[in-house]
Amino acid sequence: MKKKILLVLMTLTVVLTYSCKKLDVPVESQFVASNFPKTLSDYNASVGAIYSNLSSNFAVPYWRMQELATDEAILPARDGNFDDGGQYRQLHYHTWTSDHPNVTTIWQWAYSGIMTCNRLINITNSFGFTPADKTAKLAEIRGMRALYYFFLMDLYGNVPIITDYPVTGIPATQPRAKVFQFIESELLSIEQQLPAKTNVVASNVLQYGRPTKGMVFALLSKIYLNAAVYTNVPRYPDAVAMADSVMANTNYGLDARYRDIFLPNNGPQIRETIFAIPYDQQIPGNQFTRFGFFYYLVNAYGFNVGLSIAMSTTPEFYNRFNLPGDFRTTTWLSGPQFAPDGNGGFTTQPIYYPNTTTQVVINPVLTLVPPKPMDLGNTLASQSEGVRSIKYYPDPAIIQATRLNGNDVPVLRLADVMLMKAEAILRGAQPTVVNGEMQTPLLLVNRVRARSGAQLATSIDLNGMLDERARELSWEGWRRNDLIRFGQFEVEYPLPNDVLSMDKSTFRRLYPVPTTELKLNGSLIQNPGY
């Protein structure tokens, strides 16, 4: 099933490669009679470039910018190994520069997707579709372009808005509020032309990984919840209204098992997925097991291949997983390790370090060993430091050959929407009735908790809401966004023996415009502070 979806969504095409360089060079068109798509199959392959670009960098460099800059994920060195020029500690300590590799990669990745969308809009207008088909296809492309612009607005703030192809003039920096307005306008204008999630399996398979009404509503709820950050104008009632629009479709629902959302065979059958990025062993990018697992456990989990030993979470973040009965706690590997039961749980069979009778024990504490910065050393004990994640459950069949996960990565899902609504109400919006039910913040939070078997809350406030989002959405790429909205992005939790400290400057709530782009385009303006 996944491979069929990927063949539709992710077909790579040579004609749609893009470089953000030399935007001042006039280009009449990349498409001439010899390479213009002639058949529907040609056209679908061209559209696939939007999605193959999306998957290429979302689950590694984009994810790192959103997570390694927070307490949720950390990639420490081990006696110099995994330092990689200091790029991970620069994210951890908020000392990145405009030359940071992720800063450059993601800027170019997002604009690659945008320029592909702009070209495809031209193609679609000229292809000869019926009016109804052309309207639907243009809505899909514009929806993806809006998503790419959301990533840019959230990370960089003030960015050029480019909608024409070929590009006319030199794209200039636009204020973040104007980018917000553009995204909002685009999403509102295409919602009616997009399909809605149904109870028909075949329809949902075709929609999976593509823009839908649900994606539009969820993304609008996200930008409205963050509107005070993006534009200095709160929009909490609008965030609630958009969340209600998602929940009004009863074909969305919380899946009974939290684990199922992230398994290697996840896909269109997951009820709460609103928008996900499909992955399999043929599409590079999803490497959560490669970087975040613990290689002394590989045999017990059914595979034997070289993995990193570095990425984990911080003790401070892991301490939030403290609710009795909460299954989400088992998505982290901490303490004595036992063999998995094949169903997302564990047996009573201990896992031993190789060639010993000593049980593997993962220590949540990360104790640094100076003078090397953010370095744990490389003894067996230090290798075993740092809680590991198995939220994206290890996929032995795929990792054997490629070290890549086959798990699709959810970008927007129903539980997030429910928590966004709860937070917006706590921030001043009014509770509303959905499907005959008055939804208060406590009701919404407890519905999400109950699905994971966690002890129900008796009350909820904003501080508690941030912890709820941490437990439910860990490693899904939202922690930086959440901490900025809650005013806690600059909170530091020093590690034992730490010789470095975080730069607490608030200007780092935005990443810088990459140096390479500033050199190529004199109309770009660097973000303040850099």
Per cent of the chain over pLDDT 90 is 80
Name the pTM for this structure. 0.93
Q: What is the pLDDT of residues 387-411, one digit of tens each?
A: 999 999 987 776 666 778 889 999 9
What count of Cα atoms within 13 Å lies in the side-chain half-sphere of residue 136? 11
* Residue given tokens 């590799």 in the structure block: 101
Q: Which of 14, 19, 12 is nearest to 31 (CA)?
A: 14
Burial of 402 (0-12, 13-18, 19+ CB in 10 A): middle
**8 A C-beta contact, residue 157 and residue 142:** no
Rounded Cα–Cα distance for residues 210 and 412 (Å): 12
pLDDT value of position 283: 58
1-75+87-193+504-530 and 195-287+387-489: same fold? yes
Rounded Cα–Cα distance for residues 283 and 205 (Å): 19
Q: Using 50, 70 and 90 to split pLDDT, how confident is the model at 310?
A: confident
- The CATH topology of domain 195-287+387-489 is 1.25.40
**8 A C-beta contact, residue 346 and residue 330:** yes
**8 A C-beta contact, residue 218 and residue 274:** yes
DSSP state of 420: H
Amino acid identity at 269: Q
- What contacts 204, CB < 8 A, 6 or more positions away? 197, 198, 268
pLDDT value of position 309: 78
- What contacts 38, CB < 8 A, 6 or more positions away? none
Rounded Cα–Cα distance for residues 283 and 99 (Å): 27
Amino acid identity at 318: Y
CATH numeric code, 1-75+87-193+504-530: 1.25.40.390
Q: Is the pLDDT of residue 100 over 90?
A: yes
Range in 4-13, 323-332, 479-488 with the lowest mean pLDDT: 4-13
Q: Is the pLDDT of residue 296 over 60?
A: yes
For residue 179, give Cα distances in angstroms to 103, 284, 349.
19, 30, 54
Rounded Cα–Cα distance for residues 95 and 92 (Å): 8
Domain ranges of the chain: 1-75+87-193+504-530, 195-287+387-489
Q: Across the strands, what pairs with 159?
A: 174
Q: What is the pLDDT of residues 486-510, one digit of tens each?
A: 999 999 999 999 999 999 999 999 9
**8 A C-beta contact, residue 126 and residue 482:** no
Q: Is the pLDDT of residue 303 over 60?
A: yes
What count of Cα atoms within 13 Å lies in the side-chain half-sphere of residue 362? 26
- What contacts 326, CB < 8 A, 6 or more positions away? 449, 452, 453, 454, 455, 471
- What contacts 297, CB < 8 A, 6 or more positions away? 333, 337, 351, 360
Alpha helix locations (H) across 61-100?
A: 63-67, 87-92
Local structure of 433: helix, strand or coil = strand
Q: Using 50, 70 and 90 to split pLDDT, how confident is the model at 16?
A: very low
